Amino acid sequence: MSAAAPRRIWRAPAVRALLLQILAFPLMLATVWLLARAGIRQSLLGVALVQGAWAAALSWRAGLASWWRAIQFLFPPALLLARQAADALALPPAAFLAVFLFMLLLYWSTFRTQVPYYPSGRRVWEAVARQLPADRPLRIIDIGSGLGGLVLDLARRRPDCELSGIELAPLPWLASSLRAKLSGSRARFLRGDYETLNFGNYDVVFAYLSPAAMGGLWRKAAREMRPGSVLLSYEFAIAEREPDRRVVTTDSRKILYIWDF
Ligand SMILES: C[S@@+](CC[C@H](N)C(=O)[O-])C[C@H]1O[C@@H](n2cnc3c(N)ncnc32)[C@H](O)[C@@H]1O
């Protein structure tokens, strides 16, 4: 982990949101106490709504993005309702643990990277394949390769190329590695953070990330990518630099952006 990593974790909106819920707790207690003194008793749901209201107000004050206010407000009552539903259905606590572990292994550092798992599809893979220079073997990587669909597809289409993917979250990485093994694919899947790679080792870098990641991606690509290499990003543009080409894939809002180095 780099020295900047703990700072990035504390700055992550999800971590700040959690801290604000903790900060809201004594304010909620004080509010419920004052209301009780004034003769207004709260149900458990009322208490959860007061907690949510304080957390939402603090999130607004702290400058979190507007959608966090709704999430912060709804989180405590949603937790309470889930608990009541579990009691009604007699679900064992282990069911919550199992769901939590599944989500953890699927999303892993999404709270920090702000890039969740979401797959691209066949039409995107076809568009990417059409953009690859056909006259020479290439080293191609999907940074954040998910279940490995794009890499496995390109490995089939381009037997002359070296295909790899890198993925941070353990479950998608495991699934992609197993898919490669079971299908006898040459594609390689690494588990790790693409920040640790040198993009200079690749001719083509493909990214399907999120708006939050694009500034950092551009700075890394500009530092490391070699002349003649290509950066592709599905759906998300880079504010700092206009793309050299745009290809419409699934619909007019979802574009494959291309930068030539
Ligand atoms: C939107 S999905 C795209 C999946 C795949 N590339 C596709 O086209 O179907 C983004 C993936 O990037 C992974 N990811 C996010 N940040 C990463 C990082 N810094 N290093 C490696 N993988 C990352 C996420 O875990 C997620 O699986």
Nearest to 133 by CA among 158, 113, 156, 169: 158
What is the pLDDT averaged over residues 41-69? 95
Please check whether residues 147 and 233 belong to one and the same domain.
Answer: yes
Q: What is the pLDDT of residues 117-154, one digit of tens each?
A: 999 999 999 999 999 999 999 999 999 999 999 999 99
Output the CA 164–ligand 1 centroid distance in Å.
Answer: 13
Please check whether residues 80 and 136 belong to one and the same domain.
Answer: no
Model confidence at 4, pLDDT cuts 50, 70, 90, reads: low
Is the residue at 108 inside a domain?
Answer: no
Q: What is the pLDDT of residues 229-245, one digit of tens each?
A: 999 999 999 999 999 99
Is the residue at 103 inside a domain?
Answer: no
Provide the b/e sequence for 138-157 (b: ≥16 CB within 10 Å).
bebbbbbbbbbbbbbbbbee
Please check whether residues 174 and 58 belong to one and the same domain.
Answer: no
What is the pLDDT averaged over residues 176-183? 97
pTM exceeding the 0.95 threshold for the entire prediction:
no
Is the residue at 134 inside a domain?
Answer: yes
Is the residue at 111 inside a domain?
Answer: no
CATH code of 227's domain: 3.40.50.150
| Count of domains for the chain | 2
C-beta of residue 176 within 8 angstroms of C-beta of residue 148: yes
Output the CA 249–ligand 1 centroid distance in Å.
Answer: 19
Q: State the residue range of the domain holding 66.
A: 4-91
Is the residue at 101 inside a domain?
Answer: no
- Adjacent-strand bridge partners of 232: 206, 258
Q: Which residues fall within 8 angstroms of residue 148, CB to CB, at 6 or more apart?
A: 142, 165, 167, 172, 175, 176, 177, 179, 180, 187, 189
Cα 122 vs. chain centroid, distance in angstroms? Answer: 21
CA nearest ligand 1 atom 13, residue: 144
Ligand 1 atom nearest residue 206's Cα:
6
- Classify 228 in phi/psi space as left (phi over 0), alpha (psi -120 to 50) or beta: left
**33 has a pLDDT exceeding 90:** yes
Q: Rounded to whole angstroms, how far apart are CA atoms 213 and 113?
A: 7
Is the residue at 100 inside a domain?
Answer: no
In the DSSP assignment, the letter for residue 226 is: P
What is the pLDDT averaged over residues 76-81? 95
Q: Rounded to whole angstroms, how far apart are CA atoms 115 and 90?
A: 35
Per-residue confidence (pLDDT) for residue 251, from 0 to 100: 66
Per-residue confidence (pLDDT) for residue 110, from 0 to 100: 85
Q: Is the CB of 113 under 6 A from ligand 1?
A: yes
Q: Is the CB of 206 under 6 A from ligand 1?
A: no
Number of CB atoms found within 10 A of residue 182's CB: 8
Q: Give me the chain's average pLDDT, please.
A: 93
Please check whether residues 206 and 252 belong to one and the same domain.
Answer: yes
**1 has a pLDDT exceeding 60:** no
Is the residue at 107 inside a domain?
Answer: no
What is the pLDDT averaged over residues 195-216? 96
Please check whether residues 128 and 85 belong to one and the same domain.
Answer: no
Please check whether residues 164 and 219 belong to one and the same domain.
Answer: yes
C-beta of residue 244 within 8 angstroms of C-beta of residue 259: yes
Model confidence at 253, pLDDT cuts 50, 70, 90, reads: confident
Is the residue at 56 inside a domain?
Answer: yes
Please check whether residues 64 and 138 belong to one and the same domain.
Answer: no
**5 has a pLDDT exceeding 90:** no
Q: Rounded to whole angstroms, how far apart are CA atoms 189 and 259?
A: 24
